[in-house]
């Protein structure tokens, strides 16, 4: 079974730049280190370990890969590969899958090679880009939103919040729609369908009135699109009754969905905005309008990075900025909340749900599937790391399915819905689960004690050897200590059952 806390993680290779055409590959005659490092980064360390021979060639190697690294001596490549071989591989209980057949699924009855598609954005905005993504292994692409508007983008138009390892946690954009005209985009569809007949082309469109929604849908169908996605959610096209302005008004969602549905015979998905308290009213309106599915979520309205000297938020365009769309791994919890809402809504039963919002590694993708998504879309992670992430998305999910005994990815869809409640009132409150301290992994930093003292219930102290000691009379089992521990040395331990009356707070 795949361990919840892998022994190797991003923190072990924090200085790796995830190079393109990595120098470490050219320096190694036995392996391709770059792919192995990427697999660690993208939570597919077991998949990487299973590709290694019985004995690591790195044991008797002088590590030229580390010397040719763009950060010489800063990435322990040899050690990481040895740990994959001798630490991770022995824990693998399942052989690598022989094929990707278990990943095959569908979108409204149309076959997908796997659940992974590019979402409507710059990553799917030209023929060449989509072709390279298809060659890399993506099952389809939702092409950047097509419209009849004259689009001229601002510069710069991206900004981000980064984590300690330098990776993007949250990403803001003020980008609008396709800057190619309708005819040019229709030509792209024809070429893609001719050269990649097995790939799924999802055409994102945005009209300015009922007639235009219908006309764009009809043209996309005639030029090879497999389905249409109605963009009712772009936060950067709100003026004049476009984008997220529509998604916030169920009556408009229903009306424009019906317009597109009348004009074409291919499936129609309504892409809804997260800039609402609940998504169900708009989703139910889309169903009344004839939608075959719902896509969610689009980016969230945001303000990022106020410059302390110029007082302008980022990205700054000639001294001015604007509210934009927030994406990336930071929005995943919000996206999952909306996915669960849609998945649990009986009025939407039978509709296809296409999930997106913060998918970066295969475990992210799995979470969307467990909450009801039948297909998945990705943008921000591709913008940061490239189309190559599809290798570990597919391999990680494929191995998980085999380990769990699932024959097909469709079997996991919605499995997480029944245990999720809309509020905390229904949860059991008469048991305290104490934390358990692994003294071998503990380094005595005291982070657990500090957090418990100042953010918890003053239940942890350090002994004379700088090891944590628990006061069971004070501990309420909140597990803040486990979250802040940099060594992952704290896990759930023994339980204490409270008297029912004592749990009333």
**C-alpha–C-alpha distance, residues 189 and 137, integer Å:** 18
**Residue 480 CB burial class (10 angstroms; 0-12, 13-18, ≥19):** middle
CA–centroid distance for 100 within its chain = 20
Q: Give the span between the Cα atoms of 19 and 17, in whole angstroms.
A: 5
Nearest one of 203, 181, 179, 182 to 130, comparing CA atoms: 203
What does each C-alpha distance from 92 to 48, 78, 366, 416, 488 come to in angstroms? 11, 20, 19, 25, 20
Residue 206 structure tokens: 């945005």
Told to judge if 485 belongs to the known catalytic residues of this protein, a careful annotator would answer: no
Give the bridge partners for 496, in sequence order: 432
How far from chain centre, in Å, is Cα 146? 24
Catalytically annotated residue among 61, 234, 264, 475 = 234
Query: H/E element holding 375?
Result: strand 375-378
Contacts of residue 501, defined as CB under 8 A and 6 or more positions apart, other chains included, come to: none
Q: What are phi and psi of 189, to 5 degrees?
A: -60, -45
What is the sign of the dihedral through the CA atoms of 283, 285, 288 and 289? negative
What is the CA 475 to chain-centroid distance, rounded?
35
At what angle are helices 182-195 and 210-222 packed, to 10 degrees? 30
Residues taking part in catalysis? 234
């Amino acid at each position: 079974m795949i361990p919840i806390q892998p022994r190797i993680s991003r923190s072990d290779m924090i200085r790796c730049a995830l190079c393109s055409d990595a120098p470490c590959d050219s320096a190694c005659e036995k392996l391709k280190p770059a792919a192995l490092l990427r697999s660690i980064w993208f939570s597919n360390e077991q998949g990487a370990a299973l590709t290694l021979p019985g004995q690591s060639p790195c044991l008797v190697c002088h590590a030229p890969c580390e010397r040719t690294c763009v950060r010489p001596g800063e990435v322990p490549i040899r050690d990481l590969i040895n740990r994959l071989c001798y630490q991770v591989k022995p824990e693998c209980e399942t052989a690598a899958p022989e094929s990707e057949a278990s990943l095959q699924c569908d979108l409204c009855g149309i076959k997908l090679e796997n659940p992974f598609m590019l979402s409507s954005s710059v990553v799917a905005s030209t023929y060449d880009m989509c072709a390279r993504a298809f060659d890399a292994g993506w099952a389809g692409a939702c092409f950047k939103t097509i419209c009849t508007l004259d689009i001229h983008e601002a510069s710069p138009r991206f900004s981000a919040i980064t984590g300690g390892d330098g990776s993007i946690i949250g990403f803001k954009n003020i980008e609008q729609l396709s800057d190619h005209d309708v005819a040019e985009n229709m030509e792209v569809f024809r070429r893609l369908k001719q050269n990649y007949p097995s790939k799924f082309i999802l055409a994102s469109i945005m009209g300015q009135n009922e007639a235009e929604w219908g006309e764009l849908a009809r043209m996309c169908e005639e030029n090879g699109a497999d389905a249409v996605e109605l963009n009712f959610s772009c936060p950067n096209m709100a003026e004049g009754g476009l984008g997220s302005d529509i998604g916030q008004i169920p009556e408009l969602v229903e009306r424009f969905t019906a317009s597109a549905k009348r004009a074409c015979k291919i499936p129609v998905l309504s892409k809804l905005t997260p800039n609402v308290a609940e998504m169900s009213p708009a989703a139910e309106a889309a169903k009344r309008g004839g939608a075959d599915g719902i896509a969610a979520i689009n980016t969230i309205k945001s303000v990022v990075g106020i410059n302390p000297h110029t007082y302008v938020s980022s990205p700054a365009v000639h001294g001015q900025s604007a509210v934009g769309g927030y994406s990336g791994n930071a929005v995943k919890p919000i996206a999952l909340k909306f996915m669960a809402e849609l998945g649990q809504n009986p009025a939407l039963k039978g509709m296809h749900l296409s999930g997106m919002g913060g998918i970066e590694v295969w475990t992210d993708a799995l979470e969307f599937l467990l909450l009801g998504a039948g297909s998945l879309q990705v943008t921000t992670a591709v913008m940061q790391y490239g189309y190559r992430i599809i290798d570990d998305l597919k391999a990680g999910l494929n191995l998980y399915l085999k380990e769990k005994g699932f024959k097909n990815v469709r079997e996991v869809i919605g499995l997480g819905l029944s245990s999720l409640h809309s509020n905390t009132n229904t949860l059991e409150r008469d048991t305290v689960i104490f934390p358990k301290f692994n003294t071998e992994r503990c380094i005595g930093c005291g982070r657990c004690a500090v957090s418990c003292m100042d953010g918890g219930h003053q239940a942890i102290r350090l002994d004379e050897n700088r090891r944590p000691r628990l006061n069971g009379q004070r501990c309420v089992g909140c597990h803040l200590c486990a979250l802040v521990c940099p060594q992952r040395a704290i896990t759930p331990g023994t339980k204490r059952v409270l008297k029912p009356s004592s749990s009333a707070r």
